[in-house]
Chains A and B, each alone.
Chain A
Amino acid sequence: MSVPEVENGAQDVAPEHGVEAVVRLDGLSKNYGDQVILDRIDLTIHRGEFVALLGPSGTGKTTLLRILSRLEDASSGRATIAERTSVVFQEPRLVSAQRVWRNVVLTDGRGEKRKSAALDALKEVGLEAKARSWPKNLSGGEAQRVGLARALYRSPDLLLLDEPFGALDAFTRRKAQDLVLRLWADHGPGVLLVTHDVEESLLLADRVIVLGGGHIQADIPVTSPRPRDTTSADFNAVKREVLAQLSHVSPHVSPDHPAHRFYGRTS
């Protein structure tokens, strides 16, 4: 097996289109033994770019996100990832023993003294009033917004969103999507959103990437201006294209493809 070569730091990446890349993957592969999860992925995301990653369960979405968030190493290839990267997970992952504001600054060693900064971040997600609450007293939508505030607090160059709205009801979900768009517009990080929801990806992203069989099957630009109308002809044309791509995705490359392993997981 070849030695994984994963590098952090965007400093050595030449600007492209005048904007720095926050993710650059060159032939990134991941395998567990003989089972190939990711097969020579090439992907570049720039600052200020909103990319959605679509694909059925078992196509390696979660693995890719875990590599980008340094939770896993790739098997081969090269990854250049922005140092300041924040993740919003599927579940809020708040420390229930710490008050909301402390959860926001948790990732800052000087946690004690950063209360005003925490309050600023909470204000951006509209939860200033909950700063002194305990996480268990938050609703699901509020907890995810605290997760967003925690991610923003680091002023990330790259924001990774792992199906952050999956567990929310339709109404709360729409409000959270609007919030993410606003925060993205205000702060301009590169965003990679992993989702199962085609409509969500088209509402939010500049580019929709369809992952299938461990490689990038399609990279579809979404150019219509925001806010987007889900009933417009434009929108539905792109939606049909994405759905067509998704229907081509074979859930697994071969009968013994690792996809089988991941069905129980949240890929």
Chain B
Amino acid sequence: MTAVTNVAVPPRAVRTFSREYDAARKRRRLPKMSSTWNVTLRILVPVALIALWQLSDSLNWVSAHVLPGPLAIIDAYKELWSTGDLQAALPISLQRAGIGLAVGGAAGLVLGIAAGLWVTAERLYDAPLQMLRTIPFIAMIPLFVVWFGIGETSKVALIIGASIFPVYLNTYHAIRGIDPKLLEVGRTFEMSRLEVIRFVVVPMAMPGILVGWRYAAGTALLGLVAAEQINSQAGIGYILNTANQFQRTDIIVAGILIYAFLGLVVDLVMRGIERALLPWRASHVGA
């Protein structure tokens, strides 16, 4: 072999690997899935579970009293629809959750922005809020009943209480987390405080703020379920309570599934809002 360097290199066997590349050949690592196949893969497990559930009902593995099958649940929905109970309950429950989330979230947002921007505000109420946050809000139900009675007020108040903290915490941290170097730009270029808030702080904190709202929407729903256990005269909780008295497991499961469905819808809506408000963050698909 000819010398390639004038430096003394100690002898050593070099192990190599080689590959042939051929662009015409199909790539193996990441098979491009057809959308049909993609969808099939995604729904495979849920469909199998539902089929198993129905099978266990049809073959009497589980008593219908303990867990009725999917078809029985569909019948329960038909019954709720024909009596008009479902149509009456949904708007009431949605209204409770909506008002509670809107009021609680707005309060959390205002408090969070103020605490994020002004040290005085933070010193004033951050510590007490952090203390209150540690109380599981469901533990407040008996107290709320004493304070606000067993009517609508205590239910909405509970949901408000459940929604404040997620928005407050995430807003506050999102604002505090903004790179101080960006805020320095505002100072050197003599932007007013309002301009800095509008063009730098709010846009940069928006992802965190939206995370807060998404959490809050989830806890608002949790608050709704808990609140509707209090002497409900209307709403999904009322359907559940009544079904409980009459031992109608099918209607109970139907009611629970409505809550689950609401959770799903809320999450989808929040994701849609995030996509619309954060185009600069367009998350990329992995791999």
Contacts and interface: CB of A to CB of B under 8 A. Distances in A.
A85 B195 contact: no
B188 A71 contact: yes
Interface in A114-154: 134-136, 154
Contacts of B191: 106-107, 109
Is the interface on chain A under 10, 10 to 19, 20 to 34, or 35 or more residues?
20 to 34
A31 B108 CA distance: 42
Contact of B203 (A69, A70, A97): A97
B140 interface: no
Interface string A98-113: 1100100011010100
Contact of B200 (A70, A95, A99, A136): A95
B280 interface: yes
B190 A98 contact: no
Contact of A86 (B189, B195, B278, B279): B189
Contact of A93 (B185, B192, B203): B185
Interface residues of B, number: 20
Given A109-B195, A136-B280, A95 B203 contact: yes
Contacts of B190: 70, 107
B204 A71 contact: no
A87 B182 CA distance: 12
Contacts of A89: 181, 185
A193 to B, nearest CB: 16
B187 interface: yes
B102 interface: no
B203 A87 contact: no
- In the complex, the 4 A-B pairs of residues with the closest C-beta atoms, listed nearest first: A97-B203, A107-B189, A134-B280, A69-B188
Interface of A: 69-71, 85-87, 89, 91, 93, 95-99, 102, 106-107, 109, 111, 134-136, 154
